[in-house]
Amino acid sequence: MKKTILSGSTVTGDLTLGNYIGAINNWKKLQDDYDCLYFLADLHALTVFQDPKVLRERTYSFFAQYLALGLDPQKNIIFVQSQVPEHTELSWILTCLTPLGYLNRMTQFKEKSEKHVKNINAGLYTYPILMASDILLYQADMVPVGEDQRQHMELCRDIVGFFENRYGAGTFKMPEAYVGKMGARVMSLQDPEKKMSKSDENEKNFVSIIDEAKSIEKKIKSAATDSGTEVKFDLENKAGLSNLMTIYSVLSGKTTEQIESDYMGKMYGHLKVDLAELVVETLKPVREKYLDLMKNKDYLDQLMKSGADRARPRAQATVRKVYDAVGLVKS
């Protein structure tokens, strides 16, 4: 029996190099050897205000971005969260088991409520419970995510504990986070103290995987670095440069030591020029495939439907087990 992998991304902005390097690159590696489900978290996107037209369009765009990055819809179940209603059904049951104190600790909630002061809604607060439902519905063994999701993963594991304490063991599998060693936290290009985020208002802070070559070059060449010259991996004193080296390392397969020795006697500018070229070359086929896929929405619709049809029976089986365990009478 293959182990089950599940992960997703919120449908906001466009996927960035951070999402790719921290998460989707690992999804891709796992797709050959595991039973994988990758979904678009469109319900999670509603925790901040979304223009309905934009959200609808973006859902197609995200689906196409997943495919363009190399996720295979035959090998994996790729689907849209809202097309499998069991996600919200399970979420209610788990909401009734989660103490407020645990939600109060979530750093993402604190950050997002500072950013969206005019819309601090209950969904933003209970977001990690919906995320736990996504994972537990499919009995996932492993969840490949970036470093920023570690706390939500811990909460998900706690929720399994709350359920087992009240109703006994055997309903859910205990999932584990799978966080890569390199690139689990890609930093913003202009402000290397904060993470690269696809919903950042300043476009200079991130490279989107479907950016045009010119824009990628500009963003990388103008990335903030310190005033030094020596190309050396040093997260504490050279955060901006080290971030660029991390991106370089993951995309080229070279270690940071190799990069240091390649750039001995050279300046930051040399590394930026080469990195810009590497990113452009890596993302060129992705952008081409993406633009091609977006011409055929019917095809994307078909794939979405088939993904949801494959996911639904598995989700239903878990919800049935849960309803039974908690004492809800079957219809």
Work out whether 143 is an interface residue with ligand LTN (CB under 6 A).
yes
CB 31 within 8 A of CB 71: yes
Among ligand LTN, ligand ATP, none, partner that 289 touches (CB below 5 to 8 angstroms by kind): none
Distance CA(15)–CA(58), nearest Å, equals 11
Work out whether 195 is an interface residue with ligand ATP (CB under 6 A).
yes
Q: Which residues of 154-177 are buried (b: 16+ CB within 10 A; e: fewer)?
A: ebbebbbeebeeebeeebbbebeb
Amino acid letter, residue 66 = Y
Contacts of 15 by beta carbon, 8 Å cutoff, 6+ apart? 9, 24, 62, 65, 69, 198, 208, 209, 210
Among ligand ATP, ligand LTN, none, partner that 135 touches (CB below 5 to 8 angstroms by kind): ligand LTN
Which residues, 34 to 53, sit near ligand LTN by CB under 6 A? 41, 44
Q: Which is nearer to ligand LTN, 97 or 143 (CB)?
A: 143
Q: How far is the CB of 127 from ligand LTN (least distance, A)?
A: 7
Please provide residue 289's backbone torsions phi and psi, each rounded to the nearest 5 degrees: -65, -40
Q: How far is the CB of 4 from ligand LTN (least distance, A)?
A: 12
Work out whether 61 is an interface residue with ligand ATP (CB under 6 A).
no
Work out whether 199 is an interface residue with ligand ATP (CB under 6 A).
yes
Segment near ligand ATP (CB under 6 A); pick from 56-64, 74-82, 196-204, 287-295: 196-204
Candidate list 4, 5, 9, 80; residue touching ligand LTN; CB under 6 A:
9
CB 222 within 8 A of CB 208: no
Size of interface with ligand ATP, in residues (CB under 6 A): 21
Work out whether 73 is an interface residue with ligand LTN (CB under 6 A).
no
Work out whether 128 is an interface residue with ligand ATP (CB under 6 A).
no
CB 89 within 8 A of CB 315: no
Give the active site residues.
Answer: 112, 195, 198
Contacts of 297 by beta carbon, 8 Å cutoff, 6+ apart? 60
Work out whether 82 is an interface residue with ligand LTN (CB under 6 A).
no
54-60, long-range: CB within 8 Å, 24+ apart, which pairs? 55/11, 58/11, 58/12, 59/11, 60/294, 60/297, 60/300
Q: How far is the CB of 87 from ligand LTN (least distance, A)?
A: 9
Work out whether 30 is an interface residue with ligand LTN (CB under 6 A).
no
CB 14 within 8 A of CB 61: yes
Candidate list 4, 10, 26, 47; residue touching ligand LTN; CB under 6 A:
10
Work out whether 65 is an interface residue with ligand LTN (CB under 6 A).
no
Candidate list 134, 200, 211, 217; residue touching ligand LTN; CB under 6 A:
134
Work out whether 146 is an interface residue with ligand ATP (CB under 6 A).
yes
For residue 151, what are its two tokens?
A: 């706390």
- Stated as kind and residue range, the H or E segment containing 177 is strand 176-178
Tokens 């989660």, residue located: 98
The most distant pair of C-alpha atoms in the chain lies apart, rounded to whole Å, by 73
Q: Which is nearer to ligand LTN, 41 or 84 (CB)?
A: 41
Q: Which is nearer to ligand LTN, 44 or 238 (CB)?
A: 44
Size of interface with ligand LTN, in residues (CB under 6 A): 14
Closest CA to 243 of 235, 231, 251: 235
Residues pairing with 178 in the sheet: 144
Binding-site ranges for ligand ATP (CB under 6 A): 9-10, 12-13, 16, 18-19, 22-23, 145-146, 148-149, 184-186, 195-199
Binding-site ranges for ligand LTN (CB under 6 A): 6-10, 41, 44, 131, 134-135, 143, 145, 149, 152
